């Protein structure tokens, strides 16, 4: 609400303007010109209401409308139109009609046209009738804005008010439906054209062709194209361009070129849109060089490429990974006085996000905003997706908050991307918070949302809840799609419940869902892991019989199962079959074979296979090298294992935690350490990214008892082989000692590391925080989190939750509260257990106000506390006689659909 001073200033300006425009030659008044920067539509409305002279009021309306930085809105238009209608003059009535048309044409989006229609309806009810031109203009604008239902409403009102539709009216209705591929509805109006005696023109037929192209029916589009020529109606450049676009979208580029040749022969000159359509088609088909040649042809034909042309080229270059060329083209078009639009920026941002070059992507956002081009939902989706691929989840969540702050509405793609990454990061609670927020914001979760959550729950080992969600989806009458079925089948396979997985597989057929290659792959993998190779082979046969082509994953899974089962001859036969069916093996295929050879002690053959890989341009990865290093360690060839480590690092392949564990295992053997400290090598390599519980316990046991001298020996041995330890080396060792509860030894390693000019990375800090939490040293853990933030690293939400929880247990509520706030500002929501712990701690100190503030902060950030948290706070508020606050919380619970217990209602009644 405006203050008294602001209201006074508003009316002073209105009266001053009214006084000035009553003077002769007021248009040249310097005082008035100076005031124009302050004049808003609200001022204009009041000036027009106070000014009785229609002639000078119209002059002022037109004059102010031409001033830089000013634009009339629906209210200012409505004011002048009402004033002109109040004067009994044919001239002013005509001017009023012309202004109605201008008001309609000025609409740029749905909200504006809806306000205009509402205003025109109010005028109509007051006796100001609308002309046929106004109705046709309305139709033209709502059709342009793709508002079909509004177009139907305008058409109906027009007809009801006695205006017979003409060819223009019918064409607009046909085009409105055809733009959305609704040809059946468009044909109703086409029939009306014929019934009313009108002759369909080029615009009519072109719209129908567009409709068939949009619905994917290219044959019908060409049928209309032939028919229009038979009717003596010549196609124009728009007609041809639509058909060229339809062919390109179907991948029929050559036919599109033939059609362009045909239009040239008929003296219909291709325009920039025609050429741009061809260029986009070529770029979509990974034929960017040919697209660039088309640009040269355009220039020769005096057809100047526009921003859409260059946007297609930039998108194509980015798609082919040619980011340097894309950037050069982007800089070049700015020198051509072409203004990049949001789609242009998005194409370049998307390309850099896919290549994980996020710094440049964010730099583009800054350049974009400085140039006055505002990012849209697609822009943020690309950035969020890029950050999620890098597992920078907190930054991705900050972008979600930024979108909401800017009133940009996140769509299903936004939420699904964030839900997916939280599931992959085993943060299923936050994934469900996002799921709730998604529904709260009016977005209906789709099959991808449900399958992601089902898959996430399965990966977390929470098969029971995954099944509940799956069943809930079925109970809602939504038949789960193939993706969701595959997720639940895969979950049961990973849990070793192959019988249930096969039952669900056959249930798919009953429910009319055809399994795809991913479904078969999940089941084959499950059977292979249980060494049920005969059944896996039978299912593979069924897959072939069903017409589902085996993928690289299918063959690699079978090879991995055969290698682990010691059937190396059969594994190599499958490899030969892969080559025959033109399915080249990848690094994981070779890694499985190398593991199998190493398991049988055939180390020379394994190394020969690595050479074979490299000759084919396939670089060995961490899994490949770790398998070979492990094989050499088992055979007592420790020195050669370190040679392999050196080769691995020089080849740019970073050893992981498991690699170093294998090397330490070898050093323990070499130093005649106790045999029980040696890690079990069984199942050392797996195509899975996760270690089994037995193996993890064995590794933890080793680190608890490992002498720190062995770790130092590892570093020395690496340097002997000219294999300089990196930050990742120290990170793996620090992680091991922290897992084993050896914080002192982890600190010693960090000191050596810093002395050698290396500094802790995010992984090292995370290991230290986790280690301190396990030893209940929460203040030390908090200091480490602060150091992480100072060095630009983002603490994971699970770490923050653990520290908050621990601080509360130690009575350090103020510190816990500070960390809670920092976590929320980072775009994350601490989980329910943490929130409840913090609230309980605050309640013990009688600080209900802080508790309410925390609840509000949680809700502002889009995360809903559960019902139990609300109930606990309501009880305490009632005990403190804060009944108003307690009842407000009860109302909020009811709004959110949370159940109220009888005892809670009784409690508030007692308080009352």
In angstroms, the CA 280 to CA 241 distance is 12
- Indicate whether 903 pLDDT > 70: no
Task: Judge whether 13 and 35 are in contact, CB under 8 Å.
Answer: yes
Asked which of 488-492, 570-574, 700-704, 807-811 is least confident by mean pLDDT, the reply is 700-704
pLDDT class for 827, splitting at 50, 70, 90? low
- pLDDT for 342 equals 92
Could you report the per-residue pLDDT of 485-539, keeping only the tens digit for each? 898 999 999 888 999 999 999 988 888 889 999 999 999 999 999 999 999 999 9
Q: How many CB atoms lie within 10 A of CB 539?
A: 19
DSSP designation for 322: -
For the purposes of burial, counting CB atoms within 10 Å of the CB of 903, is it exposed (0-12), middle (13-18) or buried (19 or more)? Answer: exposed
CA angle 740, 743, 749 (to 5 degrees): 105
- pLDDT for 348 equals 93
- Indicate whether 429 pLDDT > 70: yes
CA distances (Å), origin 330, targets 325, 375, 665: 9, 17, 53
- Best-predicted range by mean pLDDT (32-41, 293-302, 534-543): 534-543
Joined tokens for residue 551: 């993928």
Q: Which residues contact 8 (CB under 8 A, 6 or more apart)?
A: none
In angstroms, the CA 482 to CA 447 distance is 9
- Best-predicted range by mean pLDDT (52-56, 568-572, 845-849): 568-572
Task: Judge whether 120 and 132 are in contact, CB under 8 Å.
Answer: no
In angstroms, the CA 778 to CA 773 distance is 6
Residue 242: name the closest of 260, 229, 261 by CA: 260
- pLDDT for 178 equals 93
Token pair 């005096």 in the structure block, residue: 302
How far, rounded to the nearest angstrom, does the alpha carbon of residue 662 sit from its chain's CA centroid?
38
pLDDT class for 830, splitting at 50, 70, 90? low
Q: Which residues contact 870 (CB under 8 A, 6 or more apart)?
A: 855, 889, 892, 893, 898
Could you report the per-residue pLDDT of 588-620, keeping only the tens digit for each? 999 999 999 999 999 999 999 999 988 888 999
- pLDDT for 776 equals 92
In angstroms, the CA 77 to CA 120 distance is 11
Could you report the per-residue pLDDT of 71-103, keeping only the tens digit for each? 888 888 888 888 888 888 888 888 888 888 888
Token pair 């309806």 in the structure block, residue: 121
- pLDDT for 156 equals 86
In angstroms, the CA 232 to CA 239 distance is 15
- Global pTM? 0.67
CA angle 778, 782, 785 (to 5 degrees): 135
Mean pLDDT, rounded, for 393-419:
87
- pLDDT for 856 equals 75
- Indicate whether 836 pLDDT > 70: no
In angstroms, the CA 795 to CA 338 distance is 43
In angstroms, the CA 414 to CA 116 distance is 33
In angstroms, the CA 482 to CA 520 distance is 11
- pLDDT for 591 equals 93
- Indicate whether 694 pLDDT > 60: no
Q: How many CB atoms lie within 10 A of CB 710?
A: 18
Residue 691: name the closest of 623, 755, 779 by CA: 623
In angstroms, the CA 644 to CA 606 distance is 12
Residue 333: name the closest of 366, 365, 297, 309 by CA: 309
Collapse the DSSP code of 883 into the 3-class scheme (helix H, G, I; strand E, B; otherwise coil) and give the result.
helix
In angstroms, the CA 753 to CA 125 distance is 82
Q: How many CB atoms lie within 10 A of CB 646?
A: 15
Joined tokens for residue 301: 């034909």
Could you report the per-residue pLDDT of 705-764, keeping only the tens digit for each? 788 888 888 888 888 888 889 898 999 899 989 988 999 999 999 999 999 999 999 999
Mean pLDDT, rounded, for 640-652:
89
Mean pLDDT, rounded, for 194-205:
91
DSSP designation for 26: G
Joined tokens for residue 635: 């055979």
Could you report the per-residue pLDDT of 843-899, keeping only the tens digit for each? 676 677 777 777 776 666 656 666 667 777 777 777 777 777 778 777 777 776 666
DSSP designation for 374: -
Task: Judge whether 142 and 150 are in contact, CB under 8 Å.
Answer: yes
Mean pLDDT, rounded, for 641-666:
88
Could you write out the DSSP letters of every residue in 733-782? Answer: HHHHHHHTT-HHHHHHHHHHHHHTT----HHHHHHHHHHHHHTT-HHHHH
Could you write out the DSSP letters of every residue in 580-627? Answer: HTT----HHHHHHHHHHHHHTT-HHHHHHHHHHHHHTT----HHHHHH
Q: For the chain, give the mean pLDDT.
A: 85
pLDDT class for 684, splitting at 50, 70, 90? very low
Q: Above pLDDT 90, what percent of the chain?
A: 36
């Amino acid at each position: 609400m405006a203050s008294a001073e602001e209201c006074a200033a508003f009316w002073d300006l209105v009266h001053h303007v009214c006084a000035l425009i009553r003077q002769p030659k007021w248009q040249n008044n310097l005082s008035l010109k100076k005031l124009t920067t302050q004049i808003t539509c609200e001022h204009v409305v009041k000036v027009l209401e106070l000014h009785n002279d229609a002639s000078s009021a119209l002059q002022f309306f037109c004059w102010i409308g031409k001033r830089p930085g000013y634009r009339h809105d629906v209210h200012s238009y409505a004011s002048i139109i009402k004033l002109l209608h109040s004067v009994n003059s044919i001239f002013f009535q005509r001017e009023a009609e012309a202004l109605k048309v201008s008001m309609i044409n000025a609409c740029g989006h749905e909200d504006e046209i809806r306000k205009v229609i509402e205003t025109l309806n109010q005028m109509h009810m007051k006796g100001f009738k609308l002309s046929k031109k106004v109705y046709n203009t309305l139709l033209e604008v709502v059709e342009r804005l793709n508002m079909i239902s509004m177009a139907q409403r305008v058409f109906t009102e027009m007809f009801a008010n006695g205006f017979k539709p003409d060819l223009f009216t019918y064409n607009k209705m046909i085009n409105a439906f055809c733009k959305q591929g609704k040809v059946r509805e468009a044909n109703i109006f086409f029939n009306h054209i014929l019934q009313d005696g009108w002759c369909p023109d080029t615009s009519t037929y072109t719209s129908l062709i567009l409709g068939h192209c949009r619905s994917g029916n290219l044959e019908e589009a060409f049928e209309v194209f032939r028919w229009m020529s038979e009717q003596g109606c010549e196609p124009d450049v728009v007609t041809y361009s639509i058909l060229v676009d339809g062919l390109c979208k179907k991948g029929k580029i050559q036919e599109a070129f033939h059609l362009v040749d045909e239009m040239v022969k008929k003296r219909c000159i291709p325009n920039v849109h025609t050429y741009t359509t061809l260029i986009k088609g070529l770029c979509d088909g990974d034929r960017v060089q040919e697209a660039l040649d088309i640009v040269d042809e355009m220039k020769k034909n005096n057809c100047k490429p526009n921003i859409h042309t260059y946007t297609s080229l930039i998108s194509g270059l980015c798609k082919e990974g040619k980011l340097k060329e894309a950037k050069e083209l982007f800089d070049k078009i700015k020198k051509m006085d072409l203004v990049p639009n949001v789609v242009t920026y998005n194409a370049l941002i998307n390309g850099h996000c896919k290549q994980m070059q996020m710094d440049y992507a964010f730099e583009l956002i800054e350049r974009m905003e400085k140039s006055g081009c505002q990012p849209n939902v697609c822009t943020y989706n690309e950035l969020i997706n890029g950050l999620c691929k890098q597992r920078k989840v907190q930054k991705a969540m900050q972008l979600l908050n930024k979108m909401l702050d800017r009133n940009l509405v996140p769509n299903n793609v936004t939420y699904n991307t964030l839900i997916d990454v939280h599931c992959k990061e085993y943060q299923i609670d936050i994934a469900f918070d996002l799921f709730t927020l998604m529904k709260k914001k009016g977005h209906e979760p789709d099959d991808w949302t449900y399958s992601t959550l089902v898959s996430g729950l399965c990966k977390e080992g929470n098969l029971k809840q995954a099944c509940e969600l799956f069943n809930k989806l079925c109970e809602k009458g939504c038949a789960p799609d193939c993706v969701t079925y595959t997720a639940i089948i895969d979950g049961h396979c990973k849990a070793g419940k192959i019988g249930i997985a096969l039952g669900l597989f056959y249930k798919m057929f009953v429910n009319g869902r055809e399994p795809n290659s991913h479904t078969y792959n999940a089941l084959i993998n499950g059977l292979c892991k249980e060494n049920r190779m005969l059944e896996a082979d039978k299912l593979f046969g069924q897959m072939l019989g069903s017409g589902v082509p085996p993928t690289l994953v299918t063959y690699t899974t079978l090879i991995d199962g055969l290698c682990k089962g010691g059937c190396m001859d059969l594994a190599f036969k499958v490899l030969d079959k892969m080559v025959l069916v033109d399915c080249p093996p990848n690094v994981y295929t070779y890694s499985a074979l190398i593991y199998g050879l190493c398991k049988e002690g055939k180390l020379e053959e394994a190394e020969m296979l690595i050479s074979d890989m490299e000759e084919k341009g396939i670089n060995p990865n961490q899994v490949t090298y770790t398998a070979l290093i492990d094989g050499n360690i088992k055979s007592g060839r420790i020195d050669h294992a370190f040679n392999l480590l050196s080769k691995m690092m020089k080849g740019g392949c970073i050893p992981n935690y498991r690699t170093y564990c294998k090397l330490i295992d070898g050093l323990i053997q070499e130093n005649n350490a106790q045999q029980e400290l040696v890690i079990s090598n069984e199942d050392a390599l797996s195509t899975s990214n996760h270690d089994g519980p037995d193996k993890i316990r064995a590794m933890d046991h080793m680190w608890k008892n490992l002498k720190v001298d062995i770790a130092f020996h590892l570093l020395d041995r690496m340097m002997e082989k000219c294999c300089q330890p990196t930050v990742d080396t120290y990170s793996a060792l620090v992680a091991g000692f922290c897992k084993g509860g050896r914080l002192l030894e982890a600190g010693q390693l960090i000191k050596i590391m810093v002395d050698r000019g290396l500094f802790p990375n995010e992984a090292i800090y995370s290991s230290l925080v986790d280690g301190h939490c396990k030893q209940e040293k929460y203040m030390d853990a908090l200091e480490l989190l602060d150091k992480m933030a100072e060095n630009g690293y983002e603490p994971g939400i699970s770490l923050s939750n653990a520290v908050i929880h621990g601080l509360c247990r130690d009575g350090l509520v103020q510190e816990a509260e500070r960390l809670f706030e920092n976590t929320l500002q980072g775009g994350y929501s601490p989980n329910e257990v943490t929130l409840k712990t913090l609230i309980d701690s605050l309640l013990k100190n009688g600080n209900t106000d802080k508790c309410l503030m925390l609840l509000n902060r949680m809700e502002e950030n889009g995360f809903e506390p559960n019902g139990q948290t609300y109930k606990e706070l309501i009880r305490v508020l009632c005990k403190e006689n804060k009944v108003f606050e307690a009842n407000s919380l009860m109302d909020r619970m009811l709004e959110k659909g949370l159940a109220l217990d009888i005892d809670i209602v009784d409690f508030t009644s007692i308080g009352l």
